[in-house]
Amino acid sequence: MTTLKMTLAALATTALTALPATAGEKWDMPMAYSGSNFHSVTGAEFAKCVTTGTGGDIEITTHPGGSLFAGADIKRAIQTGQVPIGERLLSGHQNESAVFGWDSVPFLVSSFDEHDKLYAVAKPEVEKVLADQNLTLLYSVPWPPQGLYFRDEVQTMDDMKGVKFRSYNNATSRLAELTGMLPVTIEAAEISQAFATGVADSMVSSGATGYDRKVWESLNYFYTVDAWLPRNYIMVNSSVWDGVSDSNKNVIQACADMAEYAGTWRAKEYTGFTMAGLAAGGMTVEPVNDAVMAGLKEVGATMTAEWLEAAGDTGAAIVDGFKAE
């Protein structure tokens, strides 16, 4: 914790050298996850940093929990200028570009260190696609490794067949199909209600999502398969960004660097904390058995091949670049 505070203090010195606050632009920043989620907490700190650092030239107000726009609508809202800035899980838009799904290729990486190396290779390619869509990336924060939640115990791959499965992107829908589960598209803000009412009985997600949504009230098992580590992205409309002064751009980027560092630190610390929280809530938290893991790895191999075909040369360059690291 001391290291985090010292680093943030050093970054803040750069960001918060501004004139006293004056009336300026007001930027609404929609976010899909609950206000208590570490991504939303990081976003709120980023917003405060920008507001203070620009001396009120740009005042950012966050709107967590899909309260301003539903998660699936946030990216389009930024592109079209309905809001200047927002946060989105880009893998939710893999149908627009396969590149957005780089972080949801099963079992390509299973740790934060591996993921960091993969992100370093993938980031420039993601930024190219975003630039073509009038979007500029400010910062990005990973989720903890993804595990499998179930209402009922899973001892074989057959136990998954027919189970209603919450999906949130192409990869999760395909995972459901290949395991015989039934994908149901459910945004993060709707998770608790979906499980409570039986709309879904399982999902792949991090311990953070399950903990924030108290899924132990409906589900009983969390299996730590470490399937992948998706990322949330904070993006600004490029036309809006072009109109920001150089001095304020410097402040915003310093705040973004600070947020990416703090958010990534939180993701790592939150992993163990949320595992303990799920268990304290009454869930069984454990790895799947060897037979189920072998079956999941076969599914992962199929999904990896499909993604590489869809992403073409760019996808191959990302994977090859990661393996060469």
Buried b (16+ CB within 10 A) or exposed e, 314-324: bbeebbebbee
pLDDT (0 to 100) of residue 8:
54
The pairing of beta strand 147-150 with beta strand 164-167: unpaired
pLDDT (0 to 100) of residue 24:
85
The answer as to whether 319 is a domain residue is yes
The answer as to whether 16 is a domain residue is yes
Answering whether pTM is above 0.95, one says: no
Whether residues 9 and 111 share a domain: the answer is yes
Whichever domain contains 170, its CATH number is: 3.40.190.170
The answer as to whether 160 is a domain residue is yes
Whether residues 162 and 203 share a domain: the answer is yes
Whether residues 123 and 253 share a domain: the answer is yes
Whether residues 99 and 133 share a domain: the answer is yes
pLDDT (0 to 100) of residue 23:
57
Instruction: Name the residue type at position 152.
Output: D
Q: Which domain holds residue 197?
A: 147-227+284-323
The answer as to whether 115 is a domain residue is yes
The answer as to whether 71 is a domain residue is yes
Whether residues 131 and 258 share a domain: the answer is yes
The answer as to whether 279 is a domain residue is no
Q: How far apart are CA 186 and CA 196, in angstroms?
A: 13
Whether residues 217 and 250 share a domain: the answer is no
8 Å CB contact between 227 and 292: no
Q: Which own/partner contact pairs does 121-126 have at CB distance under 8 Å and 24+ positions apart? A: 121/317, 121/318, 121/321, 121/322, 121/325, 122/318, 122/322, 125/99, 125/314, 125/317, 125/318, 126/90, 126/99, 126/100, 126/102, 126/233
The answer as to whether 199 is a domain residue is yes
pLDDT in tens, the chain (325 residues): 445 544 554 455 444 444 444 458 999 999 999 999 999 999 999 999 999 999 999 999 999 999 999 999 999 999 999 999 999 999 999 999 999 999 999 999 989 999 999 999 999 999 999 999 999 999 999 999 999 999 999 999 999 999 999 998 899 999 999 999 999 999 888 999 999 999 999 999 999 999 999 999 999 999 999 999 999 999 999 999 999 999 999 999 999 999 999 999 999 998 999 999 999 999 999 999 999 999 999 999 999 999 999 999 999 999 999 998 7
Whether residues 168 and 237 share a domain: the answer is no
Whether residues 248 and 314 share a domain: the answer is no
Q: In what order do the strands lie in the sheet with 85-89?
A: 85-89, 231-237, 135-142
Whether residues 114 and 261 share a domain: the answer is yes
pLDDT (0 to 100) of residue 222:
98
Q: How many structural domains compose the chain?
A: 2
Whether residues 223 and 76 share a domain: the answer is no
Whether residues 108 and 240 share a domain: the answer is yes
pLDDT (0 to 100) of residue 189:
87
Buried b (16+ CB within 10 A) or exposed e, 8-17: beebbeebbe
Whether residues 18 and 56 share a domain: the answer is yes
